Amino acid sequence: MTYPKLCIPEDKITKEADLDPASLFAFEPEKFIFEIGFGNGERLAQHLKQEPKTSFIGAEPFSNGMSAFLKDIEGEELPNNVRVHMDDAIPLAKSFKTDSIDQIMVLNPDPWHKTRHHKRRIINQDNLDIFSRIIKPGGMLVMTTDVRDLIEWMVTEATKHPDFTWTAEEVADWKNPPKNWIPTRYESKGAKGADRMHYLFFQRNK
């Protein structure tokens, strides 16, 4: 069983800002990336290999997604630079120490199309407060979506938050993925009726 070897122990999810991500790894990484809702994790599996000196923390409550990811990374040796959490990412985010994460990635979050469900969208002011507390000053919040209504929503929510600044300077900055970008499965597939993929990079103010 791979999950027990890589999962974050339940007693570390305190929601009390006392979890140092460094304590989850047996080496000193150059940075910490926290991916929220990695789906089947194909992108994350590639990212681990692309950046062996970075530590990755992935949260995905969907058990089929978690098993697909674990199957993908199983081999002679498990990668030493990943830890996973098969549940809601928010209690875990609340557990991390202040200024402890270099980058949060929220890629193609569930759109919750109906107006009465908008409050369930993961990008909202309450969660942005949590993200801004744990992201190091100068660190990044990376979001993608191809859902028109959600593009506007995420840009509006993140722009109105006092701790984040949109780094885009020209249209190409949000229309094109950056160099070395690894697409998610959803992104490669493209959804029916979807708009163009948008790449939204917000910096945590210094």
Ligand X SMILES: C[S@@+](CC[C@H](N)C(=O)[O-])C[C@H]1O[C@@H](n2cnc3c(N)ncnc32)[C@H](O)[C@@H]1O
* Active-site annotation, residues: 110
Nearer to ligand X, 36 or 130 (CB): 36
Nearer to ligand X, 59 or 158 (CB): 59
Structure tokens at 30: 């150059």
Contacts to ligand X by CB under 6 A: 36-39, 59-62, 65, 88-90, 107-110, 122, 184-187
Q: What is the Cα Rg of the chain in Å?
A: 16
Q: How far apart are CA 189 and CA 196, in angstroms?
A: 12
Q: How far apart are CA 69 and CA 39, in angstroms?
A: 8
CA nearest 41: which of 182, 201, 198?
A: 182
Least spacing, CB of residue 185 vs ligand X, in Å: 4
Least spacing, CB of residue 201 vs ligand X, in Å: 16
Least spacing, CB of residue 144 vs ligand X, in Å: 7
Nearer to ligand X, 13 or 165 (CB): 13
Q: How far apart are CA 151 and CA 2, in angstroms?
A: 36
